[in-house]
Each structure stands twice: as structure tokens, then as C-alpha cells.
Amino acid sequence: MAQLKKINSFDSIIKRLESIFPEQSCIETLYEYHTSDGDYPLLKIILGKGNSRRALISAGIHGDEPGGVETILNFLKNKAYKPFIDEWEFTFLPCINPYGYEFEVRENHEGKDLNRLFKVDDPPIEIVFAKSVFDRAFDLALELHEDVDSHGYYLYQKGINAKYDGYGLEILNSVKKIMPINLDNEIDGSVAHQGVIGKDIDIASMDWWPMALYGAAKDTRISLTLEAASKFNIETRVNAHLNAIKTALTIFF
């Protein structure tokens, strides 16, 4: 394999988080892991601790999708959680694959696609970390991704209750003023309807689980995997994700 080049600095992500939260009391390092290219901490941030509704917002499980990481930093820096903080407890995982983030590769340092490994025995440390936050059920889980092959924004929706039909569509309606929606009938091999891929599958029968299905198995009420199109510039991708997050929180019922 060709020598990888470091493209982004995870240290600078840590520094930015420390400047957003100078007291650092809400930043937790759950695990630190070692690679031949350096050591990486796995960070969790909790805000609004103890509030009745619980939201998980995560990014960077695929290292070559930096827009989600930037979205979470922007959301925190601009205190975009403020309107929701009396009601919601937020868990942020700003970057699940810091090695991949630094080298801008999808996989981790062992060449593993982390979002395929939530059902395996003895998973990599990044998965142990991500799984650890599901000790109590979330009402809402938002996973931020990017897709190099898509010409527009779309999302995967997994809700365990039919009352959330239309939820994803309403989110896309708010995003479309920023980034066009991918209206194809099939996206990434799945049937899509107006940008929503409604995965109502029997999760127990699946050979492998992404994080969203692990969350569903842990009684997350509604889980959205949000996919911004990489072909747009980073500001547009971040704005599209920010809009999706705010709308998801605003219209949640």
C-alpha cells in the first residue's frame, strides 16, 4: 500500500474543542488508541446532562467525510444547541475515526470500514467506543456522512414507530434550499423516495450492522443517517447538515 499522507490535523480538532469549552468539563476522552502513525483519543461531549430527551449526534466514522466533523464543531462553537438545551441531553461523538480523518481515508488504521462492524464479536476500539454511548436508549440519533457519488442530499431513516413517517421528508424539505435533494428512485443500491431511504428491515436477520442498526437494536426511537453530497464545497455541506440537525430537533415529537 502506498504511503499515506497526513491531510488533516486531529490535534487541531482537539484544540478547537478545548477553545469552545475552556473548562473542558463536558469533554470526555473515553479511549485512546495507538497506531504506528500516532496515538488518537476518542472524544465524547455531553451537554444538558439529565434532560428528558436524549439525542446522539455523531460524525467522522468514515475518515474521508470531514464535513460531518466540521458540522459538529460549528454546531458547538455557535451554541446552536441553545434553543434545545432545556429539553435535550446531547451526546456528541465529533470524530469516531480520528486516524481516518487525519489521512482522509474511509477506513481506520487497520483498513477496516468501521460502519460495517457493529455486529461482530471483538470489534475495533472505535466501535467499542461508539457502542458504549448506547447504554441508555436515545430518542434521536443523527449520523453525519458524505457521499462522493451522490448529486444531492439524502438520508436513511430507521424509526421503530410509524408515527415518524414523513419525518425524514420534512427534514429534506428544510435542506433543499441549501443543497438539492437526490430524487433518484434508487440511491446506493437502495430504494429511495424523494431522498428518503426507509430501511424497514428485520435487523436480526442482517449479517452486518452499521451504527444505525446497532442503535435501533438498542431502542433508539428514530435514527437518521444524513448524507451530504461531497461534490459541494465544505461550507455548503456543513450548512446542509446544520439545517438538517436543527430541523430534526425542532420537529421532533
Beta strands in the chain (DSSP E): 27-35, 38-47, 53-59, 88-93, 140-147, 154-159, 186-187, 190-191, 196-198, 222-229
65/70 with CB nearer Zn ion: 65
Please choose, out of 43-51, 54-62, 132-140, 234-242, the segment that lies near Zn ion by the rule CB under 5 A. Answer: 54-62
Binding mask 140-179 for Zn ion (x = CB under 5 A): -----x----------------------------------
Please choose, out of 60-68, 71-79, 121-129, 235-243, the segment that lies near Zn ion by the rule CB under 5 A. Answer: 60-68
54/62 with CB nearer Zn ion: 62
Please choose, out of 55-63, 68-76, 133-141, 159-167, the segment that lies near Zn ion by the rule CB under 5 A. Answer: 55-63
241 backbone dihedrals φ, ψ, rounded to 5°: -65, -45
Report if residue 241 touches Zn ion, rule: CB under 5 A. Answer: no
What is the CB neighbour count within 10 angstroms for residue 121? 4
DSSP H/E element including 127: helix 125-132
Report if residue 112 touches Zn ion, rule: CB under 5 A. Answer: no
96/248 with CB nearer Zn ion: 96
Alpha-carbon torsion (238, 244, 247, 253), positive or negative: negative
| Residue carrying C-alpha cell 414507530 | 161
Report if residue 62 touches Zn ion, rule: CB under 5 A. Answer: yes
Q: Smallest distance, Å, CB 144 to Zn ion?
A: 9
21/104 with CB nearer Zn ion: 104
Sheet holding 140-147, edge to edge: 27-35, 38-47, 88-93, 53-59, 140-147, 222-229, 154-159, 196-198
Binding mask 3-42 for Zn ion (x = CB under 5 A): ----------------------------------------
Site size toward Zn ion, by CB under 5 A: 3
Q: Smallest distance, Å, CB 145 to Zn ion?
A: 3
Cell of 225: 443517517
48/60 with CB nearer Zn ion: 60
Determine whether 229 is exposed, middle or buried from the number of CB atoms within 10 Å of its CB (0-12, 13-18, 19+): buried
89/146 with CB nearer Zn ion: 146
Report the DSSP beta bridge partners of residue 191. Answer: 186
20/234 with CB nearer Zn ion: 234
Are 143 and 61 in contact by the 8 Å Cβ rule? The answer is yes
Binding site for Zn ion (CB under 5 A): 62, 65, 145
